[in-house]
Copies of this chain bind each other. A is one copy, B any other.
Amino acid sequence: MKYNIALLAGDGIGPEVINEAVKVSDAVAKKFGHEITWKPALTGAAAIDAVGVPYPDETHEICLAADAVLFGAIGHPKYDNDPLAPVRPEQGLLLMRKKLGLFANVRPTFTFPSLLDKSPLKRERIEGTDLVFLRELTGGIYFGEKGRRDGGDTAFDNCVYTRAEVQRLAKKGFELAMTRSKKLCCVDKANVMETSRLWRETVQAMEKDYPEVTVSYEFVDAVAMRLVQWPNTYDVLITENLFGDILTDEASVISGSMGLMPSASMGDKVSLFEPIHGSYPQATGLNIANPMATVLSAAMMFENFGLMEEGAAMRNVVNKALEAGVVTEDLADGGKAYGTKEVGDWLVANL
């Protein structure tokens, strides 16, 4: 098969980790007889520097025309220090999500046996954790009306959801649950928020279409607790945009291997794949960033094309590298630390 992939490397370590993911993807493609054409495009601080906006129209066109988007990371201290500044890289991120219709952010949190000790949690708490958040990504308080009144002294942000938006996200959640342990947790704040009550009643109404899935409903504050206490009791969780922002980040650190966590943002037209870590500007150009999360994001991309074997090959080789200790300094733990490129080379050689 032939694939066109938009390549948004972004800022900081973005280009370096993307480079390795491209190398590994190309090697997998070759092995399985596919052909990938990469279409690089500007985003983030790099785009602001070049053309004044963080998500240029040209980049949008490239993404829209692609079969998928592989994304590095964005954010640069030059623009990031002040969220009150007029132009910021994150605005590009939000615009991109909205314009590409990336409504479902898929954020797995899983553990690697060899890395359990990296977790801030005790071993018995984290062992066996394998959960996935589906975060709604194009609605809620992120995109509702917001502004000021009273000469600037009153601020407001409106959180809005429609039944159709909830159904679309929940459907993905039910479907994902069917491929896993058939447990779905709907995270809301239905004891306080009207949007949460809409979420809850909409999901409740969908239960009959998935009789095999056991659905639980939990308040966001309770989930914030249980994620720390017993993360391994969760499987698939669905939630709205802001709760998802907070909880997926909380979940990302419990495994202790953030440098390994991939993500996908699914849309109707195109989907985007990216590591969950940031642009880590201090490490730029040092060849120390961990490329594995980006490689695993590319694996999710292959799987999303229906290429399950290809995805599995990439996951397996990452596991092998971890077991062989071929890791960057974030995971080296006093042992030998490999460079970003060297890890990528090893993955290609051992596919």
Contacts and interface: CB of A to CB of B under 8 A. Distances in A.
A317 interface: no
A200 interface: yes
A-B pairs, top 7 by smallest CB distance, nearest first, are A155-B198, A83-B190, A221-B249, A146-B194, A224-B250, A83-B191, A153-B163
Contacts of A254: 228
A164 B150 CA distance: 12
A227 B88 CA distance: 26
A154 interface: yes
A105 interface: no
Can you tell how many copies of this chain the complex includes?
Answer: 2
- Could you say which of A142, A155, A227 has the most chain B C-beta atoms within 10 Å of its C-beta? A155
A198 B253 CA distance: 29
A141 B155 contact: no
A330 interface: no
A160 B153 contact: no
Nearest to A124: B120
Main SS of chain A's interface residues?
helix
A147 interface: yes
A154 B159 contact: no
A229 B120 contact: yes
B155 A197 contact: yes
Interface stretch (A13-21, A23-31, A240-248): A240-248
- Could you say which of A120, A121, A154, A163 has the most chain B C-beta atoms within 10 Å of its C-beta? A120
Interface residues of A, number: 59
Interface string A314-330: 00000000000000000
Interface in A244-266: 245-247, 249-250, 252-254
Nearest to A143: B192
A148 interface: yes
A36 interface: no
Contact of A225 (B83, B191, B243, B250): B250
Contact of A192 (B94, B156, B243, B253): B94
A145 B299 CA distance: 44
Contacts of A163: 152-154
B159 A120 contact: no
